[in-house]
């Protein structure tokens, strides 16, 4: 689609001509000069229009969008604009970006020489999961030396892409966990406690082996010293339990607690599978949501990622009692639970604590709750008015209550992580590695 409209330079010069005519009424000697200037102005505008709309003037534009975008990660959208005309052009590129980005300005202003092709990158950062629709591309261009008129070209480039839980963060944390420099990124290397406890195979004795591991039966059959080889315990079932209630709808830096948890669960599930354990998922709110049975089969990570992509939070309170009854009948084997939820007040905790204690008897439960970073900033602000003092006091009280919630959970034998949303993945992975190292069951 092509259309014409006038540039602001046209209206500026037109306003000057009108002003000159107004002055000419007071000084008639200027009237002919004003007429001549107006006539010249319109001639130049027609020439500018003719040059701009010459059939030889051509522009090309293209856009490359990844098939999938990662939640909360910077993504690069690549554009290329080509000038196949015989004129130098000033070009404005507008992209109908998905409504989730809330961006309605020009993507780029470019000066293109004749025959020139330019490429550039526009960085975007999605904060919501779901389908993102990229619409048409619009080019508005004009040519010198007067820039009286502009031309717009609309190119049909509609494309649909999806924003999924962050694969980039998952790969980043995998690299950090299994690298020699893991501590630089906050991942702790924890020394295993005691001996390896899972039998792997029998092998010949070599100098330095523990003589307590000699297998005398195998030695008598082979007339050679044989020892039992052990390894770290594997194949534990590890479930990420995701609370989708209203407490997880709280926003931080453009994302909800639910989205932070979803990114963390994907990264953690990848580490679990790499450690030869079984990864699973249970989500719930007022009803039981998605359930992915713990497994280490091929495609398990993709299954968990697909389930996380669809998860949404609502305004209803989560039913912990329903979760308890569901898991009693469906998750009979003792497993590790990494429970992503949030309690803002001790009252919220006390209503759910009996159910958490019963769950902790059947499984190893680790409750993950969040620090309200906004309250932390408020509690450290300088006070200038009485309102500031009240606000700061309230924030400090809320922080103390959150710490008491953690202490009460620990006092009831429930392991707890109190973390800032941005540090969630690192802290949860560290906790899982600690459980593995200490061989907790």
Comparing 139 with 13, the larger pLDDT belongs to: 139
**Superfamily classification of domain 1-164:** Immunoglobulins (2.60.40.10)
pLDDT over 90 percentage in the chain? 42
Section 103-120 average pLDDT:
85
Distance CA 63, CA 307 (A): 30
User: What is the model's pLDDT at position 194?
Assistant: 45
Strand partners, 214: 227
| Two structure tokens written together for 139 | 């080019």
Comparing 69 with 23, the larger pLDDT belongs to: 69
Comparing 425 with 223, the larger pLDDT belongs to: 425
Q: Strands 278-284, 288-295: parallel, antiparallel or unpaired by DSSP?
A: antiparallel
Interacting residues of 384 by C-beta distance below 8 A, sequence separation 6+? none
pLDDT over 70 percentage in the chain? 89
Whether the per-residue pLDDT at 227 is higher than 90: the answer is: no
pLDDT in tens, 332-366: 889 999 999 999 889 999 999 999 999 999 999 99
| Two structure tokens written together for 427 | 């802290």
pLDDT in tens, 16-55: 777 777 777 777 777 777 777 777 777 777 777 777 776 4
Sequence-separated contacts (24+) of 37-45 with Cβ below 8 Å: 41/13, 41/14, 41/17, 44/146, 44/148, 45/10, 45/146, 45/148, 45/149
Interacting residues of 343 by C-beta distance below 8 A, sequence separation 6+? 247, 349, 352, 369, 405
Section 53-77 average pLDDT:
83
Distance CA 224, CA 203 (A): 10
Whether the per-residue pLDDT at 233 is higher than 60: the answer is: no
Distance CA 41, CA 17 (A): 9
pLDDT in tens, 78-94: 999 998 887 888 888 99
User: What is the model's pLDDT at position 279?
Assistant: 95
Whether the per-residue pLDDT at 230 is higher than 50: the answer is: yes
CA 187 to chain centre: 20
Distance CA 16, CA 9 (A): 11
Whether the per-residue pLDDT at 140 is higher than 80: the answer is: yes
User: What is the model's pLDDT at position 302?
Assistant: 94
Section 324-339 average pLDDT:
92
Section 308-326 average pLDDT:
91
Whether the per-residue pLDDT at 275 is higher than 80: the answer is: yes
Whether the per-residue pLDDT at 190 is higher than 60: the answer is: no
**Considering the domain 167-191+233-438 in this protein, what is its CATH number?**
3.40.50.410
Distance CA 95, CA 206 (A): 68
User: What is the model's pLDDT at position 197?
Assistant: 52
Domain positions in the chain are: 1-164, 167-191+233-438, 206-231
User: What is the model's pLDDT at position 441?
Assistant: 67
Q: Strands 89-95, 108-112: parallel, antiparallel or unpaired by DSSP?
A: antiparallel
Radius of gyration, CA atoms only, the chain: 33
């Amino acid at each position: 689609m092509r259309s014409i409209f006038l540039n602001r330079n046209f209206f500026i010069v037109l306003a000057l001509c009108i002003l000159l005519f107004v002055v000419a009424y007071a000084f008639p000697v200027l009237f002919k000069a004003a007429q001549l200037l107006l006539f010249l102005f319109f001639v130049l505008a027609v020439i500018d229009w003719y040059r701009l709309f010459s059939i030889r003037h051509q522009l090309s534009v293209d856009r490359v969008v990844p098939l999938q975008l990662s939640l909360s990660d910077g993504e690069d959208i690549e554009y290329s604009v080509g000038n196949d005309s015989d004129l130098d052009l000033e070009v404005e590129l507008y992209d109908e970006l998905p409504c989730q980005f809330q961006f309605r300005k020009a993507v780029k202003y470019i000066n293109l020489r004749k025959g020139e092709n330019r490429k550039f990158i526009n960085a975007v950062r999605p904060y919501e999961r779901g389908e993102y629709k990229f619409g048409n591309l619009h080019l508005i261009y004009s040519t010198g030396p007067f820039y009286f008129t502009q031309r717009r070209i609309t190119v049909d480039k509609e494309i649909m892409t999806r924003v999924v839980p962050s694969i980039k963060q998952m790969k980043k944390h995998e690299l950090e966990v299994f690298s020699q420099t893991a501590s630089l990124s906050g991942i702790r290397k924890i020394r295993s406690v005691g001996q390896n406890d899972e039998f792997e195979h029998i092998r010949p004795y070599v100098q330095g082996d523990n003589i307590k591991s000699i297998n005398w039966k195998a030695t008598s059959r082979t007339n050679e010293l044989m020892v039992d080889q052990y390894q770290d315990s594997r194949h534990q079932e590890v479930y990420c339990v995701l609370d989708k209630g209203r407490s997880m709808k709280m926003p931080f830096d453009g994302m909800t607690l639910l989205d932070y948890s979803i990114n963390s669960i994907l990264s953690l599930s990848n580490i679990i599978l790499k450690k030869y354990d079984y990864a699973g998922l249970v989500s719930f709110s007022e009803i039981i949501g998605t359930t992915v049975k713990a497994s280490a089969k091929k495609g398990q990570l993709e299954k968990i990622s697909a389930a996380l992509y669809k998860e949404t939070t609502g305004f209803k309170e989560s039913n912990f009692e329903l979760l308890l009854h569901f898991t009693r009948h469906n998750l009979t084997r003792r497993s590790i639970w990494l429970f992503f939820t949030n309690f803002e007040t001790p009252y919220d905790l006390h209503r759910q604590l009996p159910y958490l204690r019963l769950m902790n008897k059947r499984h190893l439960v680790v409750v993950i709750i969040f620090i309200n970073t906004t309250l932390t900033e408020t509690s450290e602000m300088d006070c200038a008015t009485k309102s500031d003092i009240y606000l700061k006091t309230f924030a400090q009280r809320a922080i103390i209550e959150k710490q008491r919630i953690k202490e009460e959970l620990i006092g009831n034998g429930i392991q707890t992580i109190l973390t800032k949303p941005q540090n969630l993945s690192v802290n949860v992975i560290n906790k899982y590695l600690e459980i593995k190292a200490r061989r907790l069951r």
